[in-house]
Amino acid sequence: MADKKKFYITTSIPYMNAPLHVGNALELMQADALARYHRLLGDEVFFLTGTDEHGRKIFEAATQAGKTPQQFVDAMSARCIEVLKALDVSYDGFIRTSDEKKHIPTVKKAWQQLKAKGDIYKENYRGRYCTGCEAFLRDTEIRDGACIIHEKSVQDVYEENYFFWFSKYAKEVERLVREDVIAVIPEHRKKEILNLFSEEGVKDVSVSRPAENVKWGIPVPNDESQIMYVWVDALLNYLSGIGFDGEQYKKWWPPDAQIIGKDIARFHTMMWPALLVALELDLPKKIYVHGHISVEGKKISKSLGNVIDPFELVQKYGKDAVRYFLLREIPSDDDGDFSFPRLHERYTSDLQNGLGNLVSRTTTLALKYPDVSKGLETEHVLGKSRTPIAHAYRQAIEEFQLHRALAETWKLVNESNKLIEETKLWETIQTDPSRARGTAKTLAENLHAIGILLMPFLPETAGKVLAAVGMTASVSLNAVSHPVQFQKPAEPLFPKIES
């Protein structure tokens, strides 16, 4: 048998100065859906996530909380893992940037290699710094003396820092992005990045700050007066998370897919590949860039009090409903809006009345025909009328349009509910039992296909849908269906929830 294809996927690592919000949850859901999809294809998957734990903002948040930075990030990271579990995120590796065994030695090793090559050098620097971004800003990122993202005034900073010789690699990185050696998806993000190369010119990038200004981070090897820039430290998690240079690393490197938000696309498509070229390492194959979530039309911000805790959402609606809403309502490759009325609407129409109702009606029907399962023939589960849907579903996922893949799946849900209504099935049972039996068979096959298509997105629900048609979840996209044995779920899949 041929070797399984490997699929190494990463998320960005959320910055632990604040708990995870719904935007972080979206990215984790997207990566999780892709990881599960590739497992369904039969690939061998390694899904890495983790937490970004250094820098001044963390130090300040810890001080405010009356904790040491380490105590603070320990608690924040533990809470993050709880959220991952609540959302059913199927990660294989979790890396923390305060990890002294795997992460810190990797970062130091990479630094020393770059220093030895002369790609890192020390120089006086004057720049405008945003503590929100933890970055020096370009002119285009400043309006009226304030960072355009954080709307906070930038600081004039004059200090001696280490620099990474980005200008030496910029041309090469631009070519890699332009020629899709590193495919930046979607296309409109790729264009933005390519514009940055010309707008921004080819300035070298500051990669450290004086230790007196940043008290919590990885010290520069052989120069404790400097702390590494938090971005350099964080980017290297993709190497340390699989044990840089070790056996795991040899198996999984390079990343097949990296999921990031548009605000950090610049770091991941310029700085990150440049570091890898300098380190003479293989490059990531695809970088998927998602947009931002607004809440009821407004930007998420602490001061507006509209930060949504994914944990609370899960407690009210259940994990699969939250997964469904985020992945269906927010276009994977663009900005989207979160609103409670919309969540409730989707829950009621798509899940409770759509899928839930279909499962309940199909299994009720089957119980009226105990012999129906015997009449079923083995056939390709995604065959016949289901083929165009399965095809569009796969294409949507490959194009990072997860919302479209779910829309395709719901075509089959809606078609099946329509079939019940249009054939007046509950009457047919009385008047034409053999025809009703035929419809039951089609519905069972549809549910089986729906169960499989749902596996990357709503794993718990997929398991219940498959069980309802007598299947287990250990199937693949190319699975063959077996005679089904209906099993009516004891409870509705999606109970009524008060708005």
Beta-bridged to residue 234, according to DSSP, are none
Question: Is there a contact between 94 and 78 (Cβ–Cβ < 8 Å)?
Answer: no
Rule CB under 5 A: say whether 330 interacts with Zn ion: no
3-state secondary structure 58-119: HHHHHHHCCCCHHHHHHHHHHHHHHHHHHCCCCCCEEEECCCCCCHHHHHHHHHHHHHHHCC
Read off the tokens for 283.
């490059």
User: Closest separation between CB of residue 48 and Zn ion, Å?
Assistant: 26
Question: Which C-beta is closer to Zn ion: that of 84 or that of 232?
Answer: 232
Q: Cis ω on the peptide bond leading into residue 186 (within 30° of 0)?
A: yes
Give the per-residue contact string, 82-121, with Zn ion (x = CB under 5 A; - = no): ----------------------------------------
Distance CA 261, CA 263 (A): 5
Q: Which of 73, 80, 147, 436 binds Zn ion (CB under 5 A)?
A: 147
* Binding-site size, Zn ion (CB under 5 A): 6
Rule CB under 5 A: say whether 215 interacts with Zn ion: no
**Residue 127 CB-density burial (10 A; 0-12 exposed, 13-18 middle, 19+ buried):** middle
Which window, 49-57, 143-151, 203-211, 249-257, contacts Zn ion (CB under 5 A)?
143-151
Q: Which of 39, 79, 150, 292 binds Zn ion (CB under 5 A)?
A: 150
User: Closest separation between CB of residue 300 and Zn ion, Å?
Assistant: 15
Rule CB under 5 A: say whether 149 interacts with Zn ion: yes
Question: Which C-beta is closer to Zn ion: that of 144 or that of 224?
Answer: 144
Residue 396 corresponds to which amino acid? Answer: A
Question: Which C-beta is closer to Zn ion: that of 55 or that of 284?
Answer: 55
Question: Which C-beta is closer to Zn ion: that of 120 or that of 130?
Answer: 130
Rule CB under 5 A: say whether 463 interacts with Zn ion: no
Question: Which C-beta is closer to Zn ion: that of 300 or that of 479?
Answer: 300
Distance CA 135, CA 340 (A): 34
Read off the tokens for 450.
């729906």
Question: Which C-beta is closer to Zn ion: that of 132 or that of 221?
Answer: 132
First-to-last C-alpha distance (Å) of the chain: 52
Which window, 128-136, 193-201, 403-411, 474-482, contacts Zn ion (CB under 5 A)?
128-136
User: Closest separation between CB of residue 15 and Zn ion, Å?
Assistant: 12
Distance CA 390, CA 193 (A): 33
User: Closest separation between CB of residue 125 and Zn ion, Å?
Assistant: 18
Helix 433-454 to helix 402-422 angle, to the nearest 10 degrees?
A: 170
Question: Which C-beta is closer to Zn ion: that of 130 or that of 264?
Answer: 130
Question: Which C-beta is closer to Zn ion: that of 155 or that of 364?
Answer: 155
Rule CB under 5 A: say whether 133 interacts with Zn ion: yes
Rule CB under 5 A: say whether 366 interacts with Zn ion: no
Rule CB under 5 A: say whether 132 interacts with Zn ion: yes
User: Closest separation between CB of residue 121 and Zn ion, Å?
Assistant: 26
Rule CB under 5 A: say whether 270 interacts with Zn ion: no
Rule CB under 5 A: say whether 170 interacts with Zn ion: no
CA 165 to chain CA centroid, Å, is 31
Question: Which C-beta is closer to Zn ion: that of 75 or that of 149?
Answer: 149
User: Closest separation between CB of residue 133 and Zn ion, Å?
Assistant: 3
Question: Which C-beta is closer to Zn ion: that of 232 or that of 484?
Answer: 232
* Residue ranges binding Zn ion (CB under 5 A): 130, 132-133, 147, 149-150
